[in-house]
Structure 1
């Protein structure tokens, strides 16, 4: 059975981030031949095109993590109706310098959670626009706009019973998406 390594990019740095919890919990719904690795983005310098010729070690590590993966999972918060700055910064770094886009061709899924009633719908839409430009084939359906409420996670941090079937169906589609694009 083929093994698939998924680079997980969490668009939140908060220690107790709902999206980091979601990234960890949803990975448990994948089959055993899928491994998920949360990529560090909090230590990246602010993107500056002047540094393209001599990228920081953290940027090189980010690009290597992406290159070594068979797929991407973006789990994003929503800040001011858009993607968090830290996520955009990581996207910019890994897409540069021009012609050396680490994201290109990597199949992806996009999910997110927020306490707001529309979850992360607008953030995800903005992210999908950016990923389309960067040649990242992104799974379109089903969409996952989670409003964080009691019961989303159980006491052990796993997906709660009320959301398990929906998120398992999403993971099953994501697995198919990754396999299809790596065939």
Structure 2
């Protein structure tokens, strides 16, 4: 059985991020041949094309971690009906300079949680548009727009009983998607 390394990009840098908790909970539902590593994006400078020829060490680290992964899991909140700026900044950095994108060809999954009743539907749609341009095969179904409510997480930080079956099916579909699309 092949081993799969999944780079996890959480679109929130908040200490008590629901999406960081969701990412951690999802990783515990994954098959044993999948390992998840959260990528750091809070130390990246603002993207400036003038820096493409001399990228910051944090940018080089991010690109290296993406390159070492078999697939990418994006777990993002929704800010003002779109993806957070910190996530877009990370995407822009790792896609540059033109022709040297670390994202190209990496299978991706997109999910997110929000307190709003439509979860992160619009953020995910915007992100999917960007990932299509970056040549990342992205799982289309099932979609998951998670509303954060009591019971989403249990006391151990795992996915709560009321959401576990649904999210287990999502993780299983993501794992199967990665197995079909990853270049291992």
1:76 and 2:76 correspond: yes
User: What are the residue-to-residue correspondences of 1:91-170 with 2, within 5 Å?
Assistant: 91-170=91-170
Q: How many residues align?
A: 183
Structure 1 gaps, min length 5: none
Secondary structure of 1:180's aligned partner: helix
Q: CA RMSD in A?
A: 0.6
- Structure 1: distance between partners of 2:163 and 2:48: 41
Secondary structure of 1:35's aligned partner: strand
Report runs of 4+ in structure 1 exceeding 4 Å deviation: none
Equivalent residue, structure 2, for 1:173: 173
- Structure 2: distance between partners of 1:30 and 1:158: 12
Equivalent residue, structure 1, for 2:31: 31
1:51 and 2:48 correspond: no
Secondary structure of 1:124's aligned partner: helix
1:64 and 2:36 correspond: no
- Structure 1: distance between partners of 2:79 and 2:46: 18
1:16 and 2:16 correspond: yes
Residues 92-148 of structure 1: CA deviation (Å, up to 9, x unaligned): 000000000110000000000000010000000000000000000000001010000
Secondary structure of 1:40's aligned partner: coil
TM-score, normalised on structure 1? 0.99
Secondary structure of 1:58's aligned partner: helix
1:40 and 2:37 correspond: no
Secondary structure of 1:54's aligned partner: coil
- Structure 2: distance between partners of 1:181 and 1:119: 27
The CA deviation at 1:182 is 2.3
TM-score, normalised on structure 2? 0.99
- Structure 1: distance between partners of 2:84 and 2:46: 13
